[in-house]
Structure 1
Amino acid sequence: MEKHAIFQEVSQLLVQLFELSPEDITPESRLYEDLELDSIDAVDMVVHLQKKTGRKIKPEAFKSVRTVQDVVDAVEQLLQERVSQEQ
């Protein structure tokens, strides 16, 4: 899955879960400051991302996540790990 497609999925998830406006979500959007998510929101997002990817997300993989692009990069990494494990 390409980064643009992952960004679209993450954006859609943010809109659905947190009733955000799609126009407010950019790769540079900061989760806590710009989108006003809190730690419970972040946990909800991780749970939904785990369901979508079929992968368990390790807490350390998301500790440094600050922006939407960071989420996209983390999901891309998870998907790449899954592909390499399946081969």
Structure 2
Amino acid sequence: MEADLILEKINEILVDEFEVDADIISPESNLKDTLGLDSLDYVDLVVAIESNFGVKLGEADFVGISTFSDFYKLIETKIQNKN
């Protein structure tokens, strides 16, 4: 799956599942602050990503993830390693 498609799908999930305004999502924005995620929201995010992309995410995967760009790269790497 290409990076552009991954980015589009992730943003679609965020807009649909977390009711985030698509206009506030940018690669440089802080993921947690922009989405206002609490610990339960992270669980929901992990479940949504796992079900849509078929990859497993653990707590350790989120270490060092601060921006949307970091998150996109994490998912892209997970998908590449899966194949």
Report TM bin, short chain: 0.7 to 0.9
Match of 1:68 in 2: 68
| Deviation at residue 25 of structure 1 after TM alignment | 0.8
Q: Which one has a larger percent helix, Structure 1 or Structure 2?
A: 2
Structure 2 segments unaligned to the other structure (5+ residues) = none
Counterpart of 2:57 in 1: which secondary structure?
coil
Tell me, which stretches of 5 or more residues in structure 1 are unaligned? Answer: none
CA contact (8 A) 1:32 1:66 kept: yes
Which protein is bigger by CA-based radius of gyration? 1
Residue deviations 1:8-48 (CA, integer Å, cap 9, x gap): 11111111111111111111121222232222212211111
- How far apart are the structure 2 equivalents of 1:38 and 1:5? 27
Identity %: 34
TM-score, scaled relative to structure 1: 0.83
Q: Which residue of structure 1 lines up, in the alignment, with residue 44 of structure 2?
A: 44
How many aligned positions are there?
83
TM-score by length of 2: 0.87
Q: 1:66, 1:40 → 2: CA distance?
A: 18
Give yes or no for contact 1:3–1:76 (8 Å, CA) kept in 2: yes
